[in-house]
Amino acid sequence: MDDEIDSHRPQTLDELQAPYEVGYKQPPKHSRFPKGRSGNPKGRPKRPEGILIRDIFDSSQMLKDGRKISTREAYLRQILRGAIEGKATAFRIFLKLMQAAGLFRNETSKHPHIIYYDDHTPSDFPESYAAWKRENALKRATQAGKTEAVHEPAGEPGSGGAKPKIRNNASKPRRKTSIAEDDNMIALFKRLVAERRTINQNGSSRSVTLAELIILKNCNAALQNDAAAFSNILRLAEQGGEFLDREDPAKVPKPLIMPRKRFETTEELLAFYGASIVELPKKPAL
């Protein structure tokens, strides 16, 4: 092997007489790669393929009755089943999904943020307000004229203008997408919690949604001293703003008093009352 390695170049007399020392840039002769042979014959390792998360949730799962559902639906049904049973982790995820889906109604505050009053007194600045209205109307008319010029339709054939092309979208049927392609977890969650259930309450039966059923089950369990359900209801109350002190002005802002006359812009409000915005000087940098 050594003779084959060194046969490609002639050796000098000094090299033949001097002993070979192994060191920096002088590897042992028996461990050298022969000329023309790569040190990495298999090449660079291939990069692993990425994982598409949607394919994981779109995969199918088999139910006990033989029906096939997506992994996404199976996961959501498992969460809803655990939330009905009062499991803390499942109920916390249920509240997070309800918030993300926008299924919690925003309650109106007893203290309105804006109080309107009737202002029957004439403006102290009628001339300036009338001048502002004329200037604003002229500005809008000019802007509308520019917009019509930009979007002016093409002329008739023979007048030099190109005939607009009319696309008939009705002639092309829309591509039908399957549920697995069109749905995500929030869309499927909305449909699942909107399913109706019939319950017996106070000797009468009534229909409720699955979301209402989950909350009612946890409320009844909490009233029966179930510790997990009690914690779930407290978490629900906190998310609904039940722990907010509405009499504390630091947490609930005081209402804003405004005239009943509606103004379209801030500039119109300032012109009506003859006011202007004053910008305070910035503090000098230290």
Mean pLDDT check: name the lowest of 7-21, 179-193, 232-246: 7-21
> Are the C-beta atoms of 206 and 69 separated by less than 8 Å?
no
187: left (phi over 0), alpha (psi -120 to 50) or beta: alpha
Banded model confidence at residue 173, pLDDT cuts 50, 70, 90 = very low
The helix/strand/coil state of 220 is: helix
Q: How confident is the model at residue 176 (pLDDT cuts 50, 70, 90)?
A: very low
Q: Model's pTM, two decimal places?
A: 0.52
Q: Tell me the sheet residues that pair with 209.
A: 196
Residue 198 β-bridge partners: 207
Q: How many CB atoms lie within 10 A of CB 123?
A: 15
- Indicate whether 175 pLDDT > 60: no
The tokens for 213 are 């059923």
Report d(CA 193, CA 172) in Å as an integer. Answer: 35
pLDDT in tens, 119-170: 655 556 667 778 888 888 888 888 887 766 665 555 555 555 555 454 554 4
Per DSSP bridges, beta strands 114-117 and 196-201 are unpaired
Say how far apart CA 169 and CA 52 lie, in whole Å.
33
Q: What is the reported pLDDT for 167?
A: 52
